[in-house]
Structure 1
């Protein structure tokens, strides 16, 4: 049921909508498991995408985005919220999907809090991790996908901010 590296090794514009309806699974240190149904994501596609962190090139923060898809990319915003992203694509072509929400929890900051994310998740391999992974979900092929512009990236300019790379159901 777990999604493997080949799922994430595709272009972000294929992976992002395909994540909708999948189960995001987190196993905590005490053995408890939380399953969330992904229903809101955003795609960020390479150095040319001015909304993407990789638009500034390879840095210590963005390094994981340059690896083959299937890794966790987390970063802290406002000093309090860990944003969860999954890298996609092939090596040296930085792409990532931001997990914006689930059926159970709305908002990327709340997702990070519920999953108890921290910097230790940076670079985690989704295909082998014992702490976090994504699984197929029985009804994921029966969802109706809506697209809209990404949220909060006006700084990227009208062209990039206006791309309908947010996928929801």
Structure 2
């Protein structure tokens, strides 16, 4: 996707990247995953957002960049979370990537998460391999070294296609069945905690939390 794709408001970007491929390249590795769950954070008026009240700090600087820049932060001092800036420069909206489905490089994902091949994982480990923001960052070796970089620069990027092992081009599915729900773990956000700004592919097993 070129950078203009990301110059839209956070809600529409969160919807539009569902079903797209999140691809990671490092150390001759080529890992392909499908984005299956996202959350939108709508800037200075969103009480769930890091920039609520226009809090521009060194930490939140990537959110004020043009759409399509990477914002990585830590939670609990140990888990990274991946966000993509949305909209235009100085409109600090973003999308949190909450869940991805492994497509290619599954053993690399498995080793990054559990230090063993995928075939050696328990059913519990397989179920929980990438169904959460911290889990997927560990699976793809995403950390703050990617902070502020463009999502189009080649180390980590979003695409509507990938090449499989037979070098065939595989396109993303444009006809996904999307569900909406409340964002996760933002009870501090008062009325904003009830906004239906989480989006996910229905019945996908790599979604972290499904509506009851």
2:185 to 147, 152, 163: 152
Aligned ranges for residues 5-154 of structure 1 at < 5 Å? Answer: 5-28=3-26, 30-56=27-53, 57-104=55-102, 105-127=130-152, 129-137=153-161, 138-154=171-187
Superposition deviation, residue 103 in structure 1: 2.1
2:197 to 148, 157, 165: 165
- Give unmatched runs, 5+ long, in structure 1: none
Aligned-partner SS, 1:36: strand
**Contact 1:20–1:140 under 8 Å retained in 2:** no
- Give unmatched runs, 5+ long, in structure 2: 103-129, 162-170, 202-212
Moved over 3 A (4+): none
The TM-score with structure 1 as length reference comes to 0.94
The TM-score with structure 2 as length reference comes to 0.75
Aligned-partner SS, 1:140: coil
Superposition deviation, residue 35 in structure 1: 0.6
Give the CA RMSD over aligned residues: 1.0
Give deviations 1:15-74, integer Å, cap 9, x for gaps: 10101000000001x211111100000000011001000115101110110111000000
**Contact 1:24–1:134 under 8 Å retained in 2:** yes
Aligned-partner SS, 1:7: helix
Superposition deviation, residue 82 in structure 1: 0.8
Aligned-partner SS, 1:168: strand
Give deviations 1:119-154, integer Å, cap 9, x for gaps: 111101112x12100000424311011000000001
Distance 1:116 1:71 in 2: 17
Higher Cα Rg, which structure:
2
